[in-house]
Structure 1
Amino acid sequence: MTTTTRAEPTPREPTRDAVPSLDASVIAAVGGAERPPHAGPVSASLTYGWRALLKIKHVPEQLFDVTMFPIMFTLMFTYVFGGAMAGSPGEYLQYALPGILTQTVIFITMYTAMTINTDIEKGVFDRFRSLPVWRPALLVGALLGDALRYVLASAVVLTVGVAIGYRAPGGFLGVVAAVALLVLFCVSLTWLWLIVGLKVRTPNAVMGISMMVLFPLTFVSSVFAPPETMPGWLQSFVDVNPVTLLVEAARGLMNDAADGGDILLVVVLSVAITAVFAPIALRLYNRKT
């Protein structure tokens, strides 16, 4: 009895005609034959900046720091300290409003660090870093979104100030120049808080460290009182305090008594802060795991 062995069929090689049909089905599934172009640095940064604004839309409570707090600061300091400091709230408002404006916006700079730290804590940070976009776009976009917050907070303070009697001798252009200078300095300062946000573990820790630094810098300055009224040993610190330099430059622009030296010093300081802290923040961002 003979046995026959059945030959195993050899797998048939795909023909040239089959490959295009397979590719066509895959292309039809994904929706197009061409890949969309990669987002450039500007486009990616603007997208992340828009994301920061959308977060405010979905969580309106985030607007408290740029609406309610400026209103509270302006009203409290004017009517609580005005009579004791200058004899009347109206006279004190003319001196203090540029300082209140500066303090309000500087305090908001910490929220960029809190946002990036929250993204790290929730895992969103890792997802963004895996996207094929310009790597610093997340940080630059956050800065762009917060720059708009600085402008909004400035508008709120100025609106309240005008409503209760403040008038800027420097006029509209002086106020705009003061706000622009303030935003420039605060954007540079935000790079420092980004380093804090990338290093500490929780958003609460970011706020604690930021407040521990910002409170002495803003209150021990010429924001609320002239340095001449302070003890000599304290004046030495107040005179070199960066917040004092910023306040005096903004106050000069708003009072039609602009000092070119003060303005130039603030611009140079802003550039120096960015040059020192931006590379460190970007390096930490690239190495963050």
Structure 2
Amino acid sequence: MSRLGRIAAETRAAWHGFTRRRTAVFFTFFFPVIIILIFGALVQTDPTGGGLFAEPPGYYVAGYLAVVVLFTPLSRVGHEVARHREGNRFEKLATTPLTRPEWLLAQTLVNVVVVGLASLLIGGLVLLVTDAAFEFSALLVPYLVLGVALFCGFGAVLGRLADSQDGVVAASNGVALPLLFLSETFVPPSMLPGWFVPLMSLSPLTYFARGVRAATFPGWDPARSGLVGSGPYLDLAVLAALAVGFFAAGAYALPRTD
């Protein structure tokens, strides 16, 4: 079987494995819906009154997308690696021609489809329940693909380091929650201490959120972030480099045997 054939077969198997777990499917799409309903429809924003949600509604669309780009691949791939380890499946995979990068690529392709569908749902809900001003951009596609690849690699590393499936859940939440609120998603840099703002550039999610916002939020000035980088293309380039690095680290971390 060719390399493309191996990846396609593993992708189909991973997709069917995901769709068979109805609880996972439900919460994958239910979680971003709840986030939008809470922050977009109930809490709402107040651009003139200050406070946590002091930016225009369109500012937070990048944050909504960051939720699924961060949580979905990080938790799903981490859990899948831990499940394979506990079931000695990597030992069985070692007897097949399928390589570790090919296995991780197949998982990434499945997550790209899942996150893409969730992003379409988010876009529809934002238009339906909020008055956010945003425009669809072709740059959304590479941003979503690279973001998913990055956090799939990160999830593979967590799955290797954690000692159980429960450990992966705890580790992924412990990583994802701080990143979500300290990466220029929902909390603007202007609300954080000045000494902390440069540290936001250490988070890969910052480049996703900042680049998506610059590409989809009309009139947004990236210079307001106070971070290195001044446009969606530069942020995309940085995200691409990080995605390659994290994917390579994740593929290397996958065990050959258990």
Q: What is the TM-score of this pair, normalised by structure 1?
A: 0.74
Give the percent of matched residue pairs that are identical in Structure 1 and Structure 2.
Answer: 21
What CA distance in whole angstroms lies between the structure 2 residues aligned with 1:150 and 1:86?
33
- 1:76-109, CA deviations, whole angstroms, 9 ceiling, x for partnerless residues? 11244425565599x7432212212112321112
CA positional deviation for 1:267 = 3.0
2:72·2:115 contact (CA, 8 Å) conserved in 1?
Answer: yes
The answer as to 2:199 corresponding to 1:234 is no
Structure 1 residue 53 and structure 2 residue 15: aligned? yes
CA 1:140–1:244 in 2, change beyond 3 Å: closer, same or farther?
Answer: closer
Match of 2:225 in 1: none
1:184-203 alignment runs, 5 A limit: 184-203=146-165
How many residues align? The count is: 248
1:99-155 CA-to-partner distances (Å, cap 9, x unmatched) read: 121123211121112112112212333222222344532221111111111111211
Match of 2:67 in 1: 103
Flag as ranges the 4+ runs of structure 1 deviating above 6 A: none
Answering whether residue 113 of structure 2 is matched by residue 144 of structure 1, we say: no
Structure 1: gaps of 5 or more residues: 1-38
TM-score under structure 2 length normalisation: 0.82
Superposed counterparts of 1:1-289, under 5 Å: 39-83=1-45, 92-110=56-74, 111-169=76-134, 171-172=135-136, 174=137, 176-238=138-200, 241-257=203-219, 261-285=230-254, 287-289=256-258
**Conserved in 1, the CA contact under 8 Å of 2:108 and 2:148?**
no
Alignment partners' CA distance in 1, 2:39 and 2:107: 31
AA aligned opposite 2:58: Q
Structure 2 residue ranges without an equivalent (≥5): 223-228
Name which one, 1 or 2, has greater alpha-carbon Rg.
1
Q: Give RMSD over aligned pairs.
A: 2.8
Conservation of the 8 A alpha-carbon contact between 1:93 and 1:166: yes
- Name the aligned partner's letter for residue 232 of structure 1: G
* Rounded Cα–Cα distance in structure 1 between residues aligned with 2:92 and 2:218: 49
Task: Give the aligned partner of residue 226 of structure 2.
Answer: none
Looking at structure 2, the residues matched to 92 and 70 of structure 1 have their Cα atoms a distance apart, in angstroms, of 19
Q: Deviation of residue 275 (structure 1)?
A: 4.0
Does the aligned pair in 1 maintain the 2:60–2:185 contact within 8 Å?
yes
SS in 1 for 2:130: coil
